[in-house]
Amino acid sequence: MTAAPLHPEVYPVEEDTLLLLEAAFAEVRSDDRVLEVGTGSGHIAASLGGRAARVVALDLNPHAVQAARARGVEVLRTDLFAGVRGPFDLVLFNPPYLPTMPDERLDDWLEYALDGGTDGRRTIARFLNDLPRVLASGGRAMLLVSSLTGPGEVARLAEAAGLSGRALLERRIEGESLFVIRLERRADRDD
Amino acid sequence: MRRDLQEILCCPVCHGDLDLAVITEDEVEVLEGTLHCRACGIDYPIEDGIPNLLPPGEGAF
């Protein structure tokens, strides 16, 4: 069976997708309730099927949710965690992380998948602030960031949101390094 | 969406409960329907099995 071609405004499988998937495979437990934020093509969520109790994915992009559903992923359309309550044991996110000037924006869905705002952290900051609301007690999140995003600043944002993070994987690609950061509630904030 | 997905969803505006109204479903899941927030008075559509939990007027360029 040949998969249908991916819509041109859906983020395809790239190096960062594969790095986050590698980290997710190492982390996921068979009883996890998993949420993938910004699922794009649905590749990660579909690949985790059968390795977790349940995998749910979301995206803001209407073409992405259709692509993910076509791969058999249980998916909804919403903006980050807006429409979900959780609790989730494992949250995965390959965010828009590239620093982007306003005059560089193309205003289509693929551009939106890359555009991290002027500092690269606009969407990441929103994600970190709302993550504790949906995370189960003892839950973890895996966030992909780039050296271009300012990993130190991301760590400070996580700290401010009551989370602790450590970098797990690093991969050098042309002009940047990619990292997967594992996040959990700080012990003093668990509830 | 499977019916039990409703348990982990909420209104994107107030984070309150949603009431599920089914229009069509198969053995597995709801294909067409609505998720209604009583507090906000908003119906969020389920189309082709995909719930759309965007506040009205958002989500287009």
pLDDT tens-place string over residues A2-16: 567 899 999 999 999
Domain count, chain B: 1
Residue A34 makes CB contacts below 8 A (sequence gap 6+) with: A28, A45, A48, A52, A54, A55, A56, A88, A89, A90, A91, A92
For residue B27, the domain's CATH number is 2.20.25
Question: Which pLDDT does position A51 carry in this prediction?
Answer: 97
| Any domain includes B18 | yes
CB count, 10 Å around CB of A34?
A: 24
Specify if B59 maps to a domain.
no
**So what's the pLDDT on residue A189?**
62
pLDDT at B61: 62
Q: Look at residue B12 and tell me if it is in a domain.
A: yes
Does residue B58 form part of some domain?
no
| Angstroms from A169 CA to nearest CA on chain B | 30
Residue B10 lies in a domain: yes
CA of B50, closest CA in chain A: separation in Å? 5
**Structural domain that includes position B46:** 3-51
Q: What is the CATH number of domain A15-189?
A: 3.40.50.150
Q: Do B59 and A77 touch (CB under 8 A)?
A: yes
Q: Which two tokens stand for residue A104?
A: 């560089």
**Euclidean distance between CA atoms B8 and A88, whole angstroms:** 9
| CA-based nearest residue in chain B for residue A35 | B8
Give residue limits of the domains in chain A.
15-189
Task: Please list the rounded mean pLDDT of every run of 10 residues in chain B (61 residues).
Answer: 96 97 97 97 97 87 62
Interface touch B8/A60, C-beta < 8 Å = no
pLDDT in tens, B20-31: 999 999 999 999
Point out the residues of chain A with pLDDT beneath 70.
Answer: 1-3, 188-191
Minimum-distance CB partner of B50 among A60, A77, A87: A77
HEC per residue, chain B: CCHHHHHHECCCCCCCCCEEEEEEECCCCEEEEEEEECCCCEEEEEECCEEECCCCCCCCC
CB nearest to B51's CB, from A62, A76, A108: A76
* pLDDT at residue B60 in the model: 67
- Cβ atoms A94, A16 nearer than 8 A: yes
Q: How close B41 gets to chain A, by Cα (Å)?
A: 15
Closest to B9 (Cβ–Cβ): which among A66, A85, A87?
A85
Would B57 be classed as within a structural domain?
Answer: no
